[in-house]
Chain A
Amino acid sequence: MTTKRYVILGIVAVFGICLGRLAVRALMNLLLGGTLFGGNFL
Chain B
Amino acid sequence: MKKGKFVGLCIFIFVLTFILGIISKFAIQPSWKKEYSVKWSDEIGTRISDVSYDSGEANKFDLYLPKDNTKENYGLVVYLHAGGFTSGDKKDDEDMLAWLTSKGYVAAGINYTLRTEDNDKSILSQSNEIKSAIPVVIEEAKKHGYNIDKLTMAGGSAGHCLAMIYAYRDAKDSPVPVVFTFGAVGPSSFFREDWDNYGLDKDADEAIEAAAGLFSVMGGVEITTDMIKNGSYQELMKPVSAYAWIDENSVPTVVAYGKYDRVQPYKGSLRLKKALEDNNIDFKYFELPHSGHGLQNDDKVVKQWMEAIDEYLAKYMPVEK
Contact = CB atoms under 8 A, between A and B. Distances in A.
B132 interface: no
A20 B18 contact: yes
B16 A16 contact: yes
Interface in B1-40: 1, 6, 9-10, 13-26
Contacts, number: 114
Given A17-B20, A20-B17, A34-B292, 11 more contacts: A5-B1, A19-B21, A24-B26, A25-B25, A28-B294, A31-B294, A32-B296, A33-B263, A33-B292, A34-B291, A39-B299
- Give the size category of B's interface with A: 35 or more
Nearest to B185: A32
Contacts of B197: 33
A9 B289 CA distance: 35
Interface in B238-264: 258, 260-263
A1 to B, nearest CB: 6
B19 A20 contact: yes
Nearest to A5: B6
A33 to B, nearest CB: 3
Interface of B: 1, 6, 9-10, 13-26, 197, 258, 260-263, 288-294, 296-300
A14 B14 CA distance: 9
A17 B289 contact: no
A34 B290 contact: yes
Given A12-B14, A16-B15, A38 B20 contact: no
B88 to A, nearest CB: 15
Contacts of A31: 262, 292, 294
Given A16-B17, A33-B291, A38 B24 contact: no
Contacts of B289: 38-39
Contacts of A15: 14, 17
Contacts of B9: 9
Interface in A1-37: 1, 5, 8-9, 12-25, 28-29, 31-35, 37
Nearest to B22: A20
